[in-house]
Structure 1
Amino acid sequence: MRTLLPLLLAGAIAFASCSSSKNVFTASDFSQQASTHKKVAVLPVRVVQTGHVGKNETAESIRAANEAWSAQFQETLLSYIVSQAGKRRKGPLVSFQGAAQTNALLKSAGLDIETAYGKSPEELAKLLGVDAVMMTTLDKKKNVSDGVATAVGVGRDLLNVFGKGGRNTGTSLDGFNATDINMNSTLYNGPDGRMLWKTFREGGDDLPNNVNDLVQYYSNWIAKKLPYRS
Structure 2
Amino acid sequence: MKPKHFVVVALLAAVCGLPSCNQSRNIYTSPSFTAVAKQHKTIAILPFDVKVGLRPNEQRAMTEERHYELERQHGRAIQGALQVHFLQTINKNKEKVHVQDVATTNAILMEKDIQPEELVNFTPTELASMLGVDAVMMGTLTTDKPLSNGVAAAMAVYDLLATPNLSMGGPTNTGMAVMKIYDGATGSLLWNYEKGLARYLGSDTNTITKAITRKAAKKIPYAKLKA
TM category, shorter: 0.5 to 0.7
Q: How does 1:172-183 map to 2 (within 5 A)?
A: 179-183=173-177
Q: Does 1:34 align with 2:34?
A: no
Deviation at 1:228, TM superposition (A): 1.2
Per residue, is there more strand in 1 or in 2? 2
Residue 86 of structure 1 corresponds to which residue in structure 2? Answer: 91
Distance 1:144 1:189, change over 3 A: farther
Deviation at 1:178, TM superposition (A): 6.5
**2:125 matches 1:131:** no
The structural deviation recorded for 1:88 is: 7.0
Would you say 1:72 and 2:77 are equivalent positions?
yes
Matched residue type, 1:30: F
Cα deviations across residues 131-176 of structure 1 (Å, max 9, x unaligned)?
A: 111112101222899xxxxxxxxxxxxxxxxxxxxxxxxxxxxxxx
How far residue 47 of structure 1 moved from its aligned partner, in angstroms, is 0.4
Secondary structure at the counterpart of residue 180 of structure 1: strand
Aligned to 1:199: 193
* CA-atom RMSD in angstroms: 2.9
CA distance change for structure 1 residues 28 and 183 in 2, over 3 Å: closer, same or farther? same
* TM-score for the superposition, normalised by structure 2: 0.67
Calculate the TM-score normalised by the size of structure 1: 0.66
2:49 counterpart residue number: 46
- In structure 2, the gaps of 5 or more residues are 1-24, 149-170
Bigger radius of gyration: 2
Cα distance change of structure 1 residues 217 and 88 upon mapping to structure 2, 3 Å threshold: farther
Post-superposition offset of 1:58? 3.4
Indicate the residue corresponding to 1:6 in structure 2: none
- Contact 2:55-2:147 within 8 A present in 1 as well: no
Letter in 2 for 1:46: D
1:223 is matched with which residue: 211, 217, 226? 217
Does the Cα contact within 8 Å between 2:146 and 2:174 map onto a contact in 1?
no
Give yes or no for the alignment of 1:55 onto 2:96.
no
Question: Aligned partners of 1:34 and 1:137: how far apart in 2?
Answer: 22
Change (3 A) 1:222 1:82: farther
- 2:121 match: 118
Alignment of 1:134-213 (within 5 A): 134-142=137-145, 179-205=173-199, 209-213=203-207
Report how many aligned residue pairs link the two structures: 176
1:45-69 CA distances to partner (integer Å, 9 max, x unpaired)?
Answer: 1102467763344332221111122
Contact 1:132 1:189 (C-alpha < 8 Å) held by counterparts = yes
Q: d(CA) in 1 for partners of 2:52 and 2:207?
A: 20
Is the CA contact 1:49–1:143 (under 8 Å) kept in the aligned structure 2?
Answer: no
Aligned mates of 1:121, 1:205 — CA distance in 2:
33
- Identify unmatched segments of 5+ residues in structure 1: 1-21, 146-176
Equivalent AA in structure 1 for residue 219 of structure 2? K
Whole-angstrom CA distance in 2 between matches of 1:207 and 1:225 = 27
